[in-house]
Amino acid sequence: MSIALDLLRKEVYEANMMLQEHNLITFTWGNVSGVDRENELVVIKPSGVPYEELSPENMVVVNFDGEVIGGGLNPSSDTATHIALYREFKEIAGVVHTHSPKATAWAQSGRNIPALGTTHADYFYGDIMCTRGLNRDEIAQDYELNTGKVIIETIGKNDPMEVPGIIVREHAPFTWGTSPKNAVHNAVVLEEVAKMALDTAMLNPSIEQIPQNLLDKHYLRKHGKDAYYGQNK
C-alpha cells in the first residue's frame, strides 16, 4: 500500500472512532469511509467488528467495483451505498452511516427533518430530506446499491454539499463531507438538529419553517462566497 493510502486508512480509522466518542453508535451500528479518487479506491470499516478491535491496519480497501484489495476482512455491508455516492458526487470525500436515535426516528416516521431554526441553518441549507422507501424488488436484490440510488434520486439536481446529509425512510441517516472527519462532524450536527426539531414539534405542533431570509443569513455567512464566520485563513 502507498503512503497516501496508509494515511487515508489512519484517517478513516480515527473518524470511525469519533462515532463512538460522540455517542452516535450502539455496538457496531455505524461506519465511516474515505475515498482515494486518483486510484478510485475506498477505505471503509470492516463489517461487524467491535470498535475496541479496530485499527488503521484492519480498515478495508475496496475498488469502485467493491472488490477487496487490502485489509484482510470483509468490508462494511453498506459499502455499495458509499461507493454509489462517491461515483455520483465528485465533491464528496467522506461518507458516514449511523443509526443515531433521533435522526433514525425521523427516518422511521418517513418525514423530512424540517429547518426550524438557526442551528439547523448554520449547516444545512434547507430540510434534511427523507427518501422514499425501497420497493420489494429493490430490497430483494442489490439492496445496499439501491439504498445509494434512492439517496441519489432524492438529492436530484441539488448541490449535495448544501445539505450534506439525508435520512433513508425506515432506515437511518447518511452524511457526507469534504473528508471522513468532516462527514462525522455533519453526522453529529444532524443528530443534534434532529433532537431539536423533535422537541420543537412536540412543544409547538404548528411550528412553521424558518423564514427564508434568516435561513439565507445563517447558511451563507458560514458557507457563501462572502462568508464572514470564523477567522481569515
Q: Give the per-residue pLDDT at 233.
A: 60
pLDDT tens digits, one per residue of 37-59: 999 999 999 999 999 999 999 99
Active site residues: 122, 229
Domain range list for the chain: 3-223
pLDDT tens digits, one per residue of 200-221: 999 999 999 999 999 999 999 9
pLDDT tens digits, one per residue of 107-152: 999 999 999 999 999 999 999 999 999 999 999 999 999 999 999 9
CA distances to 85, 98, 159, 176 from 150, rounded to whole Å, are: 10, 17, 16, 15
In angstroms, the CA 171 to CA 183 distance is: 19
Q: Give the per-residue pLDDT at 1.
A: 60
Sign of CA dihedral 150, 156, 160, 165: negative
Stated as kind and residue range, the H or E segment containing 167 is strand 165-167
- Residue 45, judged by CB atoms within 10 A of its CB (0-12, 13-18, 19+), counts as buried
pLDDT tens digits, one per residue of 11-27: 999 999 999 999 999 99
Mean pLDDT value across the chain: 96
Fold adopted by 3-223: L-fuculose-1-phosphate Aldolase (3.40.225)
* 71 has pLDDT over 80: no
